[in-house]
Amino acid sequence: MNFAPSHYRKAIYGILAAILLVPISFLARPNQISKDPNQAGEATGGTISQLRSEHNLSQASLSSIDPTSEVMKLASMGLHGIAVNVLWNQANAYQEKKAFDKVSGTVDTLVLLQPNFISVWEFQGHNLAYNISREFDDYQDRYFWVKEGLNFFTKGVAYNRRDHRIYDNLGLHTGIKFGVSDEKKQFRQILRKDREYVDTFISKFINPELFDRPEAGGFDSWMLSYWWYDKSYHMRENLGVPKRTSDLMYWVKGPQQLRQYAESLSVDFRPGEATRRAWRTAYEAWTDRDPISDRQGFGKRDITTSFGAVIRLEDLERQVEFQQGIARRMDELAPGVRQEITKEKVARLSPMDQQILNMPEAERQYKEMMEMVRIEMDIRVYEQEVAARAPAENRVKADNLLRELADGEFLVSQMDSYRYTVNYNYWRDVTNMESTVPGVLARQAAYEAAELVRQGILESYEEEVTDENGVTSLVKRDGAIDALTRYFQHTSDALKPYPGLHDGESTLIEDLMQEFTKFNAHLKDVGREWPDDFPMQWFIDERVRRYGRANIKNLMTTQDIEARKREAGLLEEKSDQTDQSDQTDQSDQTDQTDQR
């Protein structure tokens, strides 16, 4: 085969290259800035540019253009995917060999190559703040690496202007690492005064005054995490950034941080009015409107469920009421039918079941309560049953009501299940209860009791106090047992209005049961018995009635107390009798002596 001379060959190559430029230009022509204001923002480039603009994938719409990142990507000549793989493996190898500063450097380079892939930020940020931080023995080193992880996330903000997940991660990691980890006490203590860190890194994003809380002694980690989430909310609500996570788990975060903040104030410091206000804020942000950011409260947020329905958690009660209204309308369409069906179903119950049903609720014990769940299911009257017996002229209306009812029931079940997922009712009641005066007084008493226990003062004592006039007098000071008694009294007052909090195995109940046990132990330590007038005796009795004796372990019920009293009474009677007989014996002896 004869080849053309090299210059001919080169000319052909040149022509071919020029021809190829035409489709390339058609496909890859960049966007041009239009001078016509009417066309501003419209994609005017090639097909690829238009597609990028359409899907918000252009670099300018994703992030600010970073020359370093662009140079890196260019320098890797389209092989940045491979380069990322190599760097990722390198980072892993460094981590395995505990060369953590190299890990940090490597991931910094890695994200320049893939700045818009959010999982890289999420994984590596978490890796720095969690995995690497915990490798260090000294909590101050751990603190440093947690900050490194958080700083890593902050670098990702500029690269991902259309993605709220960087802020979500900042909120999550700030909250959990500073507020929940083993070293939370030390971390939070250091952060409170870490002005250098705040001024240098955080202040670029959040005004430090927002989380510098006098009542928390300085910068508070929970408030910081709250404001990170608020940045994310701002993106969603004010900048129209598309959502990337489920509504429920997204909107719950902000109010959750406020609740944690109130909780930490209650534990770390002596609770007072500031604590009560913090709980109130948490309650409002949970149910109605966030008074700090003036955003919609969690309960009032529109939440799209996995079935596509839009619900608001706070609407459940209203929806249930609506359902009941439908039931009433059904009764109007079929007067007396419901009672009739109920009567029939009750009649079908066994005598034993009927006996339980007729028993007053307060007298039902654990076993009867369990049975009642089944009995209630058995005698429940379904709307379909009522509609089926409605008079013929109302049948169509009744069917329409049934359809309305079905739609409503679906919403109720969705709201119920979503509430259950986030423990909505529980936290609503807890925040509400904690924001009452008895709630705060209870916290105060608990704080004082813990402090007295730490000092080893269990019983009250008298202290000499000299006043301004130099007069010395004895003042009675509480011991831990007195403080705990006060705690139980206030808790009792606070808890009574919230029957939902008395049930189940919540952390609140768990904490209370622990406090009972500790109280019992302290009483034994000083040789005292369980008091007859224990302020929360009603609660203990209720637990026994609902869940059985095993639930309260070795605590005393009212029955136990009464038995103890009876026993004491008998003993007294007995001792009285013994005394009398002794006296009789003695007098007999005296008589005998006299006789002798």
Residue 196, interface with other proteins (CB under 8 A)? yes
Q: Which of 306, 266, 259, 263 is nearest to 287 (CA)?
A: 259
Residue 467, interface with other proteins (CB under 8 A)? no
Residue 108, interface with other proteins (CB under 8 A)? yes
Which stretches of 298-340 are assigned E, i.e. beta strand?
303-304, 310-311
C-beta of residue 552 within 8 angstroms of C-beta of residue 543: yes
How many CA atoms lie less than 13 Å away from 500 in the CB half-sphere?
11
Place of tokens 């958690």: 313
User: In whole angstroms, how close is the CB of 268 to other proteins at the nearest point?
Assistant: 12
User: In whole angstroms, how close is the CB of 120 to other proteins at the nearest point?
Assistant: 17
Each residue 123-142 as x (binds other proteins by CB under 8 A) or -, in order, gives: ------------xxxxxxx-
d(CA 401, CA 501): 35
Reduce the secondary structure of 358-409 to three states and give it as a string.
HCCHHHCCHHHHHHHHHHHHHHCCCHHHHHHCCCHHHHHHHHHHHHHHHHHH
C-beta of residue 527 within 8 angstroms of C-beta of residue 534: no
Terminal Cα distance for the chain, rounded = 159
Please, what is the Cα angle at 126 between 124 and 130, to 5 degrees? 125
Residue 71, interface with other proteins (CB under 8 A)? yes
Residue 97, interface with other proteins (CB under 8 A)? yes
User: In whole angstroms, how close is the CB of 137 to other proteins at the nearest point?
Assistant: 4
Rg (CA), the chain: 36
User: In whole angstroms, how close is the CB of 324 to other proteins at the nearest point?
Assistant: 53
Judged by CB, which is closer to other proteins: 137, or 594?
Answer: 137
Residue 68, interface with other proteins (CB under 8 A)? yes
User: In whole angstroms, how close is the CB of 270 to other proteins at the nearest point?
Assistant: 18
Judged by CB, which is closer to other proteins: 112, or 495?
Answer: 112
Judged by CB, which is closer to other proteins: 73, or 312?
Answer: 73
Residue 105, interface with other proteins (CB under 8 A)? yes
Kindly state the tokens that stand for 466.
């000299």
Judged by CB, which is closer to other proteins: 71, or 521?
Answer: 71
- Range 232-271, binding other proteins (CB under 8 A): none
d(CA 10, CA 453): 93
Residue 45, interface with other proteins (CB under 8 A)? no
C-beta of residue 314 within 8 angstroms of C-beta of residue 287: yes
Residue 67, interface with other proteins (CB under 8 A)? yes
Q: Count the site residues for other proteins by CB under 8 A.
A: 33
Q: Which stretch binds other proteins (CB under 8 A): 98-106, 425-433, 515-523, 587-595?
A: 98-106
Judged by CB, which is closer to other proteins: 97, or 204?
Answer: 97
Which stretches of 138-192 are assigned E, i.e. beta strand?
none
Residue 186, interface with other proteins (CB under 8 A)? yes
Judged by CB, which is closer to other proteins: 182, or 510?
Answer: 182
User: In whole angstroms, how close is the CB of 180 to other proteins at the nearest point?
Assistant: 14
CB-neighbour burial class of residue 394 (10 A; exposed 0-12, middle 13-18, buried 19+):
middle
Q: Could you list the residues that contact other proteins (CB under 8 A)? A: 67-68, 71, 96-102, 104-105, 108-109, 135-141, 144, 182-183, 185-186, 189-190, 192-194, 196, 200
